[in-house]
Amino acid sequence: MKRIMKWGLLALILCMFLPIRAFADAAVGDMIITLGENLTAEQKQMLLAEMGAPADAEILTVTNKEEHDYLGSYIASRLIGTKAISSSSITLEKAGTGLKVDSKNINWVTEEMYVNALATAGVKDATVHVTAPIPVSGTAALTGVIKAYELSSDKTIPEEVKQAANEEMVKTAQLGDQVGTDEATALITKIKEKMAINPPKTEADVRAIIESAAKELGITLTEEQIQSLIDLFNKLKDLNIDWNAVGNQLTEAKEKLSTFLHSEEGQSFLDKLKSFFSSLIDAIKSFFS
């Protein structure tokens, strides 16, 4: 018995020094892949080649049920569909890199929308590729990316935060249909920047931030659109999200915001704003003259 115990103890000690591979040991440059459950074998191989997946890459499966679980409250079931085909790869980067996303065959959710939603969920310092074998909306892909990040970083993202990130992505895309994709993305990014500088404490604070951000960007929102954003960001406010950490991940989205402000469209708005104030001043002068 003593001999058995000695050998058992020796085996245990040796195991402690063996290089056991675990998700928690994922290092910079490691890639984890998610594939939709309903992809054909040929489609899987095509997407893996597109991602440049190494032979030892960890591969996770995303089901249509998971897609419905996270999106069912925000968009119609028919838009989610009955098959899981959206896929993704996430490669861990060094601290301070921020989030970068590129996509293929995604026709509704933009790359910057993914960046914003992933930052809200707490995903950090990673390069993400979202893809599908045919054009799709892209809403389901966020589920897979978050799932892969949790496993690679050995961190559990609270369910309510995942839900909020999915809601943010969908609402941003819907707002994009109404006011313009660039405008919607710029607005969400600007709101987050303001929340990082001065975290809101009340719903009135949230409204003030949203209205201020929209005004600065020259985006006219209906009361319904404002209330929808208030509902979203009020929910995020109550989740105790670290907005400074979120802001640190938004390099790509901030670049998009800067591009928008310096674009012909953005400059046109600024010119109109200057013209408006100039006319207002002239009107005031004429009133008193």
Q: Give domain limits for the chain.
A: 25-158, 162-274
- Label residue 244 by pLDDT band (50, 70, 90): confident
What average pLDDT does range 73-100 have in this prediction?
A: 93
**Containing H/E element for 60?**
strand 58-62
Lookup: tokens for 138 = 């892209």
Whether residue 14 contacts residue 63, with contact meaning beta carbons closer than 8 Å, is answered with no
Structure tokens given for 204? 């009135």
Query: Which among 38, 119, 120 has a CA at the least distance from the CA of 81?
Result: 38
Q: Residue 32: phi, psi to the nearest 5?
A: -120, 140
Cα dihedral 252, 52, 95, 130, rounded to 10, equals 40
Enter the pTM of the model. Answer: 0.80
pLDDT at 185 over 70: yes
Q: What is the mean pLDDT of residues 117-145?
A: 95
124 with 34: CB under 8 angstroms?
no
User: Which amino acid, one-letter code, is at 202?
Assistant: T
Mean pLDDT for the stretch of residues 80-94 = 94
Cα gap 120→160, rounded to integer Å? 11
| 52 residue type, one letter | G
Q: Considering only 97-101, 113-117, 232-236, 265-269, which range has the smallest mean pLDDT?
A: 265-269
pLDDT for position 152: 87
The mean per-residue pLDDT over the stretch 146-163 comes to 92
Local confidence band at 5 (pLDDT 50, 70, 90 cut-offs):
very low
Q: What are phi and psi of 153, to 5 degrees?
A: -95, -5
From the list 121, 113, 286, 235, the residue with the least C-alpha distance to 186 is 113
Helix (H, G, I), strand (E, B) or coil at 88: strand
**Cα–Cα dist 124/254, whole Å:** 16
